Amino acid sequence: MSQIVSHAAKEAHGISRRTFLAAALALPFAALGQANCGAPTPRDGEGPFYKPGAPRRASLLEPGAKGEKLVLAGVVYSAQCRPVANALLDFWHADESGDYDNAGFRYRGHQMTDAQGRYRLETILPARYPGRPRHIHVKVQAPGRRALTTQLYFPGDAPAVLQPLMVKIERRDGALHAEFDFVVEI
Ligand code: FE
Protein backbone atom coordinates (compact mmCIF):
# COMPACT_ATOMS: atom_id res chain seq x y z
CA MET A 1 0.00 0.00 0.00
CA SER A 2 2.67 2.44 1.03
CA GLN A 3 4.61 1.53 -2.12
CA ILE A 4 1.62 2.46 -4.26
CA VAL A 5 1.23 5.76 -2.49
CA SER A 6 4.91 6.47 -2.82
CA HIS A 7 4.86 5.61 -6.52
CA ALA A 8 1.85 7.87 -7.08
CA ALA A 9 3.60 10.67 -5.23
CA LYS A 10 6.66 10.29 -7.46
CA GLU A 11 4.46 10.43 -10.54
CA ALA A 12 2.78 13.59 -9.33
CA HIS A 13 6.11 15.14 -8.51
CA GLY A 14 7.47 14.21 -11.94
CA ILE A 15 4.53 15.79 -13.71
CA SER A 16 4.60 19.00 -11.74
CA ARG A 17 8.35 19.29 -12.20
CA ARG A 18 8.07 18.84 -15.97
CA THR A 19 5.27 21.39 -16.08
CA PHE A 20 7.31 23.81 -14.04
CA LEU A 21 10.40 23.37 -16.21
CA ALA A 22 8.36 23.88 -19.38
CA ALA A 23 6.89 27.06 -17.95
CA ALA A 24 10.29 28.23 -16.72
CA LEU A 25 11.84 27.76 -20.14
CA ALA A 26 9.01 29.41 -22.01
CA LEU A 27 8.35 32.24 -19.58
CA PRO A 28 11.39 33.11 -17.50
CA PHE A 29 9.81 36.21 -15.97
CA ALA A 30 6.47 34.61 -15.16
CA ALA A 31 8.19 31.59 -13.61
CA LEU A 32 9.41 33.82 -10.78
CA GLY A 33 5.87 34.02 -9.52
CA GLN A 34 5.10 30.30 -9.66
CA ALA A 35 5.22 29.88 -5.92
CA ASN A 36 2.48 32.46 -5.47
CA CYS A 37 -0.18 31.06 -7.72
CA GLY A 38 -2.83 28.60 -6.68
CA ALA A 39 -4.54 30.50 -3.88
CA PRO A 40 -6.81 33.15 -5.40
CA THR A 41 -6.05 36.73 -4.43
CA PRO A 42 -8.48 37.70 -1.67
CA ARG A 43 -11.14 40.28 -2.33
CA ASP A 44 -11.14 43.49 -0.31
CA GLY A 45 -13.50 46.43 -0.03
CA GLU A 46 -14.02 48.77 -2.96
CA GLY A 47 -14.34 51.80 -0.68
CA PRO A 48 -16.33 54.90 -1.61
CA PHE A 49 -13.98 56.44 -4.18
CA TYR A 50 -13.99 54.15 -7.22
CA LYS A 51 -14.78 56.00 -10.41
CA PRO A 52 -15.30 54.22 -13.73
CA GLY A 53 -13.77 55.61 -16.91
CA ALA A 54 -10.18 56.17 -15.76
CA PRO A 55 -7.82 56.64 -18.71
CA ARG A 56 -5.70 53.83 -20.07
CA ARG A 57 -2.14 54.56 -18.94
CA ALA A 58 0.73 52.77 -17.25
CA SER A 59 2.03 55.91 -15.52
CA LEU A 60 0.01 57.96 -13.06
CA LEU A 61 2.93 60.27 -12.28
CA GLU A 62 1.95 63.93 -12.12
CA PRO A 63 4.33 66.80 -12.79
CA GLY A 64 5.66 68.13 -9.48
CA ALA A 65 4.23 65.26 -7.42
CA LYS A 66 5.65 65.29 -3.91
CA GLY A 67 5.09 61.62 -3.16
CA GLU A 68 7.88 59.07 -3.43
CA LYS A 69 8.01 57.38 -6.83
CA LEU A 70 6.66 53.83 -6.80
CA VAL A 71 6.86 51.20 -9.52
CA LEU A 72 4.40 48.37 -8.98
CA ALA A 73 4.74 45.33 -11.22
CA GLY A 74 3.76 41.69 -11.39
CA VAL A 75 1.81 39.04 -13.22
CA VAL A 76 -1.84 38.05 -13.32
CA TYR A 77 -2.16 34.27 -13.08
CA SER A 78 -5.05 31.86 -13.27
CA ALA A 79 -5.52 29.47 -10.35
CA GLN A 80 -3.79 26.90 -12.61
CA CYS A 81 -0.70 29.15 -12.63
CA ARG A 82 -1.09 30.24 -16.23
CA PRO A 83 -0.38 33.88 -17.02
CA VAL A 84 -3.56 35.73 -18.03
CA ALA A 85 -3.04 37.91 -21.11
CA ASN A 86 -5.26 40.96 -21.70
CA ALA A 87 -6.47 41.10 -18.11
CA LEU A 88 -7.75 44.54 -17.18
CA LEU A 89 -6.24 46.22 -14.13
CA ASP A 90 -7.97 49.39 -12.97
CA PHE A 91 -5.98 51.19 -10.25
CA TRP A 92 -6.95 54.09 -8.02
CA HIS A 93 -5.32 55.47 -4.89
CA ALA A 94 -4.96 58.49 -2.65
CA ASP A 95 -2.45 61.23 -3.44
CA GLU A 96 0.51 62.39 -1.34
CA SER A 97 -1.90 64.12 1.07
CA GLY A 98 -4.22 61.15 1.47
CA ASP A 99 -6.94 62.62 -0.75
CA TYR A 100 -8.70 61.05 -3.74
CA ASP A 101 -9.40 63.01 -6.89
CA ASN A 102 -13.14 62.64 -7.21
CA ALA A 103 -13.50 65.43 -9.79
CA GLY A 104 -10.87 64.20 -12.26
CA PHE A 105 -8.62 61.17 -12.71
CA ARG A 106 -5.41 61.95 -10.81
CA TYR A 107 -3.96 58.66 -9.54
CA ARG A 108 -6.48 56.66 -11.49
CA GLY A 109 -5.74 54.60 -14.56
CA HIS A 110 -6.23 51.25 -16.20
CA GLN A 111 -4.02 48.96 -18.26
CA MET A 112 -4.05 45.49 -19.80
CA THR A 113 -1.62 42.67 -19.10
CA ASP A 114 0.72 41.69 -21.93
CA ALA A 115 0.95 38.24 -23.56
CA GLN A 116 2.88 36.96 -20.52
CA GLY A 117 0.29 38.29 -18.07
CA ARG A 118 2.54 41.12 -16.90
CA TYR A 119 1.56 44.59 -15.77
CA ARG A 120 3.64 47.58 -14.65
CA LEU A 121 2.37 50.74 -13.01
CA GLU A 122 4.38 53.88 -12.31
CA THR A 123 2.96 56.11 -9.63
CA ILE A 124 3.69 57.54 -6.20
CA LEU A 125 3.44 55.94 -2.80
CA PRO A 126 -0.05 56.95 -1.63
CA ALA A 127 -0.27 58.68 1.74
CA ARG A 128 -2.19 57.18 4.62
CA TYR A 129 -5.52 58.72 5.45
CA PRO A 130 -7.37 58.54 8.77
CA GLY A 131 -8.36 55.06 9.80
CA ARG A 132 -6.62 53.21 6.96
CA PRO A 133 -3.18 51.75 6.35
CA ARG A 134 -1.50 52.85 3.14
CA HIS A 135 -3.13 51.06 0.19
CA ILE A 136 -3.74 50.93 -3.54
CA HIS A 137 -7.17 49.95 -4.81
CA VAL A 138 -7.45 47.75 -7.87
CA LYS A 139 -9.99 45.85 -9.93
CA VAL A 140 -8.55 42.90 -11.84
CA GLN A 141 -10.61 41.34 -14.58
CA ALA A 142 -9.67 38.41 -16.78
CA PRO A 143 -11.20 38.62 -20.27
CA GLY A 144 -14.90 37.82 -20.13
CA ARG A 145 -14.90 37.31 -16.36
CA ARG A 146 -16.13 39.18 -13.32
CA ALA A 147 -13.74 41.71 -11.82
CA LEU A 148 -11.91 40.96 -8.58
CA THR A 149 -11.96 44.09 -6.41
CA THR A 150 -9.21 44.29 -3.84
CA GLN A 151 -6.53 46.48 -2.26
CA LEU A 152 -2.76 46.15 -1.99
CA TYR A 153 -0.92 46.98 1.24
CA PHE A 154 2.64 47.67 2.31
CA PRO A 155 4.75 45.59 4.72
CA GLY A 156 5.36 47.24 8.07
CA ASP A 157 2.37 49.50 7.59
CA ALA A 158 -0.63 47.19 7.49
CA PRO A 159 -1.69 44.57 10.08
CA ALA A 160 -0.29 41.07 9.59
CA VAL A 161 -3.74 39.68 8.78
CA LEU A 162 -3.47 41.48 5.42
CA GLN A 163 -0.31 39.54 4.48
CA PRO A 164 -1.92 37.89 1.39
CA LEU A 165 -2.45 41.38 -0.03
CA MET A 166 0.94 42.84 0.81
CA VAL A 167 3.40 43.78 -1.90
CA LYS A 168 7.05 42.85 -1.78
CA ILE A 169 8.98 46.08 -1.80
CA GLU A 170 12.54 47.35 -2.13
CA ARG A 171 14.14 50.71 -2.77
CA ARG A 172 16.55 50.93 -5.71
CA ASP A 173 17.55 53.43 -8.42
CA GLY A 174 15.81 56.26 -6.61
CA ALA A 175 12.41 54.61 -6.53
CA LEU A 176 10.40 52.12 -4.55
CA HIS A 177 9.85 48.89 -6.48
CA ALA A 178 6.88 46.84 -5.40
CA GLU A 179 5.89 43.45 -6.72
CA PHE A 180 2.56 41.71 -6.54
CA ASP A 181 1.18 38.75 -8.50
CA PHE A 182 -2.58 38.35 -8.72
CA VAL A 183 -4.31 34.99 -8.94
CA VAL A 184 -7.78 35.11 -10.46
CA GLU A 185 -10.28 32.36 -11.07
CA ILE A 186 -11.03 31.96 -14.74
FE1 FE B 1 -8.92 53.93 -0.12
Tell me yes or no: is domain 69-184 CATH 2.60.130.10.
yes
The per-residue b/e assignment along 99-138, b for 16 or more CB within 10 angstroms, e otherwise, is ebeeeeebbbbbbebeeebbbebbbbbbeeeeeeebbbbb
Sequence-ordered list of residues with C-beta below 8 angstroms from that of 99, at least 6 positions apart, any chain: 129
Sequence-ordered list of residues with C-beta below 8 angstroms from that of 177, at least 6 positions apart, any chain: 70, 71, 73, 169, 170, 171
Sequence-ordered list of residues with C-beta below 8 angstroms from that of 77, at least 6 positions apart, any chain: 30, 33, 36, 37, 83, 84, 117, 181, 182, 183, 184
pTM attached to this predicted model: 0.80
Mean pLDDT of the chain: 85
The per-residue pLDDT for range 19-65, each reduced to its tens digit, is: 443 444 444 444 444 445 779 999 999 999 999 999 999 999 999 88
Q: Where does the chain hold its CATH 2.60.130.10 domain(s)?
A: 69-184
Kindly give the distance from the C-alpha atom of residue 137 to the centroid of ligand 1, in angstroms, as a whole number: 6
Kindly give the distance from the C-alpha atom of residue 4 to the centroid of ligand 1, in angstroms, as a whole number: 53
Kindly give the distance from the C-alpha atom of residue 80 to the centroid of ligand 1, in angstroms, as a whole number: 30
Give the whole-number percent of the chain exceeding pLDDT 90.
75
Kindly give the distance from the C-alpha atom of residue 28 to the centroid of ligand 1, in angstroms, as a whole number: 34
Kindly give the distance from the C-alpha atom of residue 112 to the centroid of ligand 1, in angstroms, as a whole number: 22
